[in-house]
Structure 1
Amino acid sequence: MPDKETDVEALIEARWSAVMARDHLADGRFVYAVRTTGIFCRPGCPSRRPARRNVCFFETAQAALAAGFRSCLRCRPLDALENPVDDSVARACRLIEASEAPPSLDELAAAVGLSPGYLHRRFKAGMGMTPKAYGAALKIRRLASALSSGVKVSDAIYAAGYAASSRAYEAAAGGLGMAPSVYRRGGEGESIRYAVAACSLGWLAVAATGRGVVAIELSDDADALREALGRRFPKARLVEASTALARWLDAVVAHIEAPGALLDLPLDVRGTAFQLRVWRELQAIPAGTTISYATLARRLGRPKAVRAVAGACAANPLAVVIPCHRVVAADGKLRGYRWGLTRKARLLAREAGEDETDEEEDDLVQILRLPAPPRP
């Protein structure tokens, strides 16, 4: 039985892993403060990560304020007071985080004083996933953290709480997007094929591993697309393979030009548990319709997680295929599209069946710096 000191160390390690992963699922359950700046933040804050030696943790934003720290102006941790996660669910989360092996639902329920079925429903409503799924996501995060620190793969697997290496490799395929040994090397040795083509929205790049499409990018410059892929996969071997990816590339271009075209592509999507839930929900939005970030958050069972939902949309690795362009502000205005609002407007107009005037075409051509199409 681990002693209290070990439990505290495990809890701190889990919280530091959440900060390193910018995990929005942890927002509202604790805050971290940076001694050198005097500022405290949410775990999912997009700011530059601090040195661990300068970080301390607080259960609440009020506690950080009482200790003399100031609220971050980027992530606004005081807004976490609106977090819908109740005390019982928060305590269950802390128990899962501090345990080497995830507690059973019965054990969690007994610890927080609720029936198993009631805790299960409250946990899913507050966290957007079941206690079992939350524990699995934590194990993947611990595995990623251990592998990133450079320890042996076998040591990282057992430190993360996996009883067998086969279980870790099975989980890593979906959670890390690659085998643990490849992840430890920062993707080194993994081969990623890519192809670039022109379309009416500028230049398009499709990149894929042996498992499926891992990135779809849009730009007004072909070289910029290649540079972007290099930054995303710094240690992987990038191979331009236009012929091998021709069918997938043509399918994406056809979908851009005529949104009704069927997209049947194998995907190799990599992200946090929360990001994956957001991206799956985005794929359920029909073409020709839009929803707000707030509506999307409600559909996920996290009505207060609007900023986290927006962050997951911004991190979308697959333009068009994961249609984050169909999410708009509450007032209907177009905001926050990583590939440019002009492209977002064009995609939505096409999906709605709206005609594009010659004047609009000229404006877009100028923005994308492409040669104007010939007039009939």
Structure 2
Amino acid sequence: DFPFAPRDLFLGWLAGRLLVEALERIEADRPAEPAIALGSFLQEHFSQGVALVDRDLRVIQANSALIRLLRHRGRLIGEDLASLLGLASGQRESLKNILHWVIEHQEARELPTLKCSLEEGKTHYLGVRLIPSLQPLKAGQGIVMLEDLSELEKLKQRLHLYEHLAIMGKLSLCVAHELNNPLDGVYRYLTLAQRKKDDPQEVERYLTEAQKGLHKMSMTIRSLMSSANPLKAPPTADNLLHLLQDAVKIMMFQASDQRVQVTLHASPELKEIEVDGDLYHVFVNIIKNALQAMPHGGKLKVDGTVGAQDIAIHFQDTGSGLSTEELGQIFQPFYSTKNGTQGLGLGLPICRKILERYAGQLLVESQPGQGTRVTILLPKIGDLGGTLEA
């Protein structure tokens, strides 16, 4: 026998249904409580520093990891995050502009490593991500995520140093080999010139050959010296437009000798971007490669443009071009498509290493007989300076 009749079951279901509807009406009439933008997990247990900020980078909420990261005593609410990071005025404006873009487009952005001093006399490297607010209705708010990459950056620097030492060891062997042959030739030609000292024409011929050997040795030593410390930025800095113009200007003599027509079209906006002087060496190296690919004349077109997110500098030549196999090896140390002492095969690998300091890219497109196009892409984030420096 069933303890409840069908009628009792129906009345129980009906009462439950009415109770649910009544509770739903009460919940709908209750004023909505503001949602917590940063959940309890992000607040207490997330290892990265997280801050909810307004359009002026003032902190609305912050988790405990950010307080520890910034070495801040007390609450961060209402504080200017850019000031806490010690950013210069230009960097502050750049960070604000990127935050505005993130809020407007509702898309996340990851920035190059931020270099700052959170403690006196101690440099820190921070990974920076900007994402829209987790509440789409909260207009004018964004989330800044900061991760301490100092140890990782130190490991990268050590790895670069070890790679550089390995390259220098191999380079020393290469230079010893390169110097040995012309040195032996110079010795032999000078000996012959001494024996033929009564024949001026023979003496002149032998001395000319000896001079060629010395020139070859000089070129080899210059390559060694220019490679001695390629990753260290020079102490001087300049704007991107001036560095590009100076690089083109210094190579115009060689271009004129080879009957290569060089044209430069650069956006005036490049003048507003401050960088370290090491990019000058990157530009010179790429232009030199282009000229060496056109020994009997041609055209080199250099363009510099500033886009919404990236800075692009293109170098297009009308040289002999590269095969698919050559393209696959041009970034390997000591690989060179040039003859004789024109190159030791270190230029492009070093250029790529330098551009990595700016979170930049070096792209090469080429086909045999159709020239080569080299593109430098740099992120558009205020004063580049290798990394965003405070």
Instruction: Indicate whether the TM-score tops 0.5.
Output: no
- Could you say which structure has the greater relative contact order, defined with CA pairs below 8 angstroms and 6 or more residues apart? 2
Structure of larger gyration radius:
2
Q: Which has the higher strand share?
A: 2
